[in-house]
A and B are shown apart, each in its own frame.
Chain A
Amino acid sequence: MNTTANDTTAPWWAGALSGGLAAAAGVAVGTAAAALLNGVPSPIESVGNRAVDLAPPALKDFAIDQFGTKDKPVLIGGVVVTLALLSIVAGIIGRKRPVVAIAGVAVIGIIAVAAAAVDRTATASRALTLVPSLLTVAVSLAALVLLLGTLRRVRARPTGPGTVGFVRRDFLKAAAGVTALVVIGGVVGKIYGTAAAVASRAGITLPKATTPVAAVPAGTQVDVEGVSRYVTPNRDFYRVDTALRIPDVPAEGWNLRLHGMVDKELNLSFRDLLDMPLTEHRITLTCVSNEVGGPYVGNAVWTGVLVKDLLEQAGVKSGADAIKSTSADQWTAGTPLEAFTDSRNSMVAIGMNGEPLPLAHGFPARLVVPGLYGYVSATKWLTDLEVTRFADFKAYWTTRDYDAEAPIKFSSRIDVPRSFQAFPADKVRVGGVAWAQTVGIEKVEVRVDKGPWQQASLGTEDTIETWRQWSWEWDDATPGNHTLTVRATNKDGDTQTSERASIRPNGTTGWHSVQFRVE
């Protein structure tokens, strides 16, 4: 293209480059931000996830047939190509009508922000989830304004009369600046976000379980605003582990070794697990570090294979009484062999609430054992199961003053009222959760101040491996400050002790109480 006098329109390639570079800079910076934040999908991923929801079912079926398990990368590619084309068009239009171009990019940006706002794969807080897409919009718009500005800058012709409407050198300088931003964003994203496990997980579609979990029975969720959701969403599920940096374990190349006191050692790839009959169970996990009334309890649907079945294939030798499990980062747990062979649903899980395990929750596979605290059973990033004897090893926390064996102490928690919550006198409805995994909750009682214990209503029991909700209404509430206390009784007939035990060496005990106010 040329720069003849009075030709004030920049060449189309400059417009195309402006649009494309502006979008690339925004995406690079947004993706870098997503890589730096934990549990936040990149803007491209978020848009991709929404696009799937909006696509007609027939097209989806066609796509699954065509692309199979590669559908995820294809989808991401589609979003990128679409965005590139749209922004190139916007840039070309922007040479003459910058407002239209900027409005166009803004609309694309709003779509990205909206997609991030409703992205169910995010496990970080809502506000944090919006950061990458907002940055993408801001950077794209700023870069576009800068580049289009240089396209339209009118200058006196250096030699001779007339003006120049497009100074190639000015434009190329600005373009180089924006390109630098793309590179920096790309490098940051590469360094912090390219866990191979991220791509690996994105490429996995969980097959339907051979034995799917039954629907949640009606009435498990009590009707009290503020009580925990019966099934904990992945983003809200507690995370307690020793990993400063989440182990990066792609499913490809991952191997689970089952060995030790067995007749035949097993080595299983992720594909081997997928090809086994998969089973699904709702199981409530509890962390030993949970204070009385604390948040480290969560209930999820786990998809995987029963450890029992693996042990049967391997053949356990007599004399073994434990399984030592090891994670990819060499953390260890010791679990009684019995917990894998009795009637409970102890699993090697590969799915959590219908999706592949989130990286923070042990991708590609973890142990889930009903009724035992996590530190003696719930090994994430699982790579090794050794059938052995407690006498022959010490697990990670056992060498740190915790007991070698630690069944979950049954307990109960008040979710409502929250601390110092105020109620109108005619509407004091309270509720919470209680858990006694592998035994079941028989009864939950509450009392106000030092009053008599009163029986709370129980939500429907799902299974004895899950928690159970409770609710209670105070009919003749008196104004003032009050303390609500809760205690549970399990199906063995044992009632929680009021005695406070600390976390070490095997978990807390005591009745949870919360002060609230009636107005």
Chain B
Amino acid sequence: MRTTVKTLAVTAAVSLSLFTAACGSSDDSAGDQPKEETSSSAAPADDPAAGLVGPGCADYAKAVPDGAGSVSGMSEDPVATAASNNPLLKTLVAAVSGKLNPDVNLVDTLNGDEFTVFAPVDSAFAKLDAKTVKTLGTPEGAETLSSVLTYHVIPGQIAPDDIDGTLKTVNGADLKVTGSGDNIKVGGQAGVICGGVKTANATVYLIDSVLMPPA
């Protein structure tokens, strides 16, 4: 018995030293294996419509059933590009792309990393008074516009299940999100219309009011 164990152990040791030598200088091996993988030019395997929350998701899907601005269309582009294809986000897109204020252009910056973005829809901007919006378009208003926009952006992608809590925005100020499912409030004032919309690099929550950073 003991001999059996010993013999096997010695054989194992010898086989290890023998076989480790049995390879050339190339230490590469088949790292890749062919199996299902989506490429950027093909339809994503995961259903982008899965995991959406908010009372407005059905209306959004009805208003934008297909194309680049739809739920599945947005999932293929980086966030600023995706937003620019969404007919509900015209004002926001103008604000981040230098069209509202030539001194404020966050398109590349927003496309360049992973984020969670609270995206006020056009009717949210319509609630602001016209004078405020006009000021945001002036050279003096650039700093304020930048501050407001960055208050809507959180580093990293956060799914609806984990969104409840106090989040640090890229503006530096904290933003409080409460609730879940069809009843999520952002910053105590804005309601989530439809959240968890995936883009290539960011998770988007459409909201019904513009958030104002603490002064």
A residues at B contact (CB < 8 Å): 12, 34-36, 38-41, 45, 48-49, 51-56, 59-60, 62-64, 66-67, 69, 71-72, 74-75, 77-79, 81-82, 85-86, 88-89, 92-93, 119-123, 192-193, 195, 197-199, 201-202, 205-206, 234-235, 239-248, 289, 291-294, 354-356, 358-361, 363, 418-420, 449-450, 481, 483, 512-515
- Tell me if A420 and B150 are in contact (CB < 8 A): yes
Taking the closest CB of chain B, its distance from the CB of A165, in whole angstroms, is 15
CB neighbours of B115 from chain A (8 A): 419
- Option from A62, A89, A234, A481 in Cβ contact (under 8 Å) with B8: A89
Which residues of B are found within 8 Å of A449, using beta-carbon distances? 103
Contact between chains at B170 and A195 (CB < 8 Å):
no
- Given A78-B18, A420-B109, A513-B105: A248 touches B23 (CB 8 Å cut-off): no
- The answer to whether A52 and B20 have CB atoms under 8 Å apart is yes
Are A74 and B33 touching (Cβ within 8 A)?
no
Min CB distance A431 to B, Å, is 15
Asked if B18 and A513 make an inter-chain contact with CB atoms under 8 angstroms apart, the answer reads no
A12-B4, A55-B23, A56-B21 known, 19 other contacts, Cβ within 8 Å? A41-B30, A45-B29, A48-B23, A49-B28, A51-B20, A62-B21, A63-B21, A63-B22, A63-B23, A75-B22, A81-B19, A202-B29, A245-B35, A246-B34, A246-B35, A293-B111, A419-B109, A450-B103, A515-B150
Q: How far is the CA of A132 from the CA of B2 in the complex (A)?
A: 34
* Total B residues in contact with A, Cβ cutoff 8 Å: 53
Interface string of B77-104 (1 = CB under 8 A from A): 0100100000000000000000000010
Give bound CA distance, A290 to B16, whole Å.
47
With A55-B21, A239-B39 as given contacts, are A512 and B29 in contact (CB-CB < 8 Å)? no
Binary flags per residue of B1-45, CB closer than 8 Å to A gives 1, else 0: 100110011011001111111111111111111111111111000
Please determine whether A291 and B39 come into contact, CB atoms closer than 8 angstroms: no
Q: How far apart are B44's CB and chain A's nearest CB, in angstroms? A: 11
CA distance A291 to B8 in the complex (A): 60
Residues of B within 8 A of A243 (CB): 37, 39
Say yes or no: B33 contacts A193, CB within 8 Å.
Answer: yes
Q: Which of B29, B34, B103, B109 has the most CB of A within 10 A?
A: B29
Q: Determine if A242 and B41 form an interchain contact, defined as CB atoms under 8 angstroms apart.
A: yes
Q: List which B128-162 residues lie within 8 A (CB) of chain A.
A: 143, 146, 150, 153, 155
Question: B29–A38 contact, CB under 8 A?
Answer: no
- Interface residue? B66 (CB, 8 A): no
- Is B39's CB under 8 angstroms from A355's CB? no
For A418, what are the chain B residues with a Cβ–Cβ distance below 8 Å? Answer: 112-113
* Contacts A85-B8, A293-B111, A420-B170; A121 near B30 (Cβ below 8 A): yes
With the chains together, A78 CA to B30 CA distance in Å? 17
| Interface flag for B108 (CB, 8 Å) | yes
In the complex, what residues of B have CB within 8 A of residue A40's CB? Answer: 31, 33
| Identity of the chain A residue whose Cβ is nearest the Cβ of B16 in the assembled complex | A82
Number of A-B contacts (CB under 8 A): 217
A201 to B31 alpha-carbon distance, docked (Å): 9
How distant is the Cα of A69 from the Cα of B26 in the complex, in angstroms?
A: 10
Cα of A449 to Cα of B4 in the assembled complex, Å: 77
Task: Please list the 4 inter-chain residue pairs (A to B) with the smallest Cβ-Cβ separation, ordered nearest first.
Answer: A78-B19, A59-B21, A355-B28, A246-B34
List, sorted by A's number, 12 A–B pairs whose CB atoms are closer than 8 Å: A35-B35, A36-B35, A51-B23, A55-B20, A85-B11, A92-B1, A202-B29, A359-B32, A359-B33, A418-B113, A419-B115, A513-B108
Instruction: Select the residue from A35, A205, A420 with max chain B CB neighbours within 10 A.
Output: A420
> CB within 8 A of A41: which of B20, B31, B78?
B31
* B81 to chain A: closest residue by CB: A291
Are A419's CB and B27's CB within 8 A? no
Shortest distance between the CB of A418 and any CB in chain B (Å): 6
Residues A75 and B19 in contact, CB atoms below 8 Å apart: yes
State the CA gap A241–B1 with chains docked (Å).
59
B42 touches A244 (CB 8 A): yes
Docked-complex contact B27 and A92, CB < 8 angstroms: no
Q: How far is the CB of A207 from chain B (nearest CB, A)?
A: 10
- The CA-CA distance from A122 to B177 in the complex, in Å, is 39
B119, CB-defined interface residue at 8 Å:
no
Q: How far is the CB of A497 from chain B (nearest CB, A)?
A: 16
B30 touches A359 (CB 8 A): yes
Bound CA span A363–B5, Å = 45
CA distance in complex: A202, B29 (Å): 5
Given A41-B31, A123-B32, A78 and B39 contact (CB-CB distance below 8 Å): no
User: Which of A59, A195, A291, A354 is most buried by chain B, counting CB atoms within 10 A of its CB?
Assistant: A291
* B110 interface contact, C-beta 8 A: yes
Check if B8 sits within 8 Å of A88, measured CB to CB: yes
Q: Say yes or no: A354 contacts B37, CB within 8 Å.
A: no
Cα-based distance from A493 to B81 in the complex (angstroms): 31
Q: Are B109 and A513 in contact (CB under 8 A)?
A: yes
Given the complex, which residues of B lie within 8 Å of A121, measured CB to CB?
Answer: 27-31
Question: Is A234 within 8 A of B31, CB to CB?
Answer: yes
- Tell me how far the C-beta of A274 lies from the nearest C-beta in chain B, rounded to whole angstroms: 13
Separation of A46 and B81 alpha carbons in the complex (Å): 40
Which of B27, B110, B153 is the most central at the interface, judged by chain A CB atoms within 10 Å of its CB? Answer: B27
Residues of chain A contacted by B49 (CB below 8 angstroms): none
Tell me, yes or no, whether B61 is within 8 Å of chain A by CB: no
* Interchain CB contact under 8 A, B33 and A195: yes
Cα A289 to Cα B78 in complex, Å, equals 12
Are A72's CB and B23's CB within 8 A?
yes
In the complex, what distance in Å separates the CA atom of A34 from the CA atom of B29?
13
Among B19, B31, B36, B109, the one with the most A-chain Cβ atoms within 10 Å of its Cβ is: B31
User: Contact partner of B29 among A48, A293, A363, CB < 8 A?
Assistant: A48
Measured between C-beta atoms, what is the minimum distance from A414 to chain B in Å? Answer: 8
User: Please, which residue of chain A has its CB at the minimum distance from the CB of B77?
Assistant: A291
Report how far A291 CA is from B28 CA in the complex, Å.
Answer: 32
Q: How far is the CA of A354 from the CA of B16 in the complex (A)?
A: 27
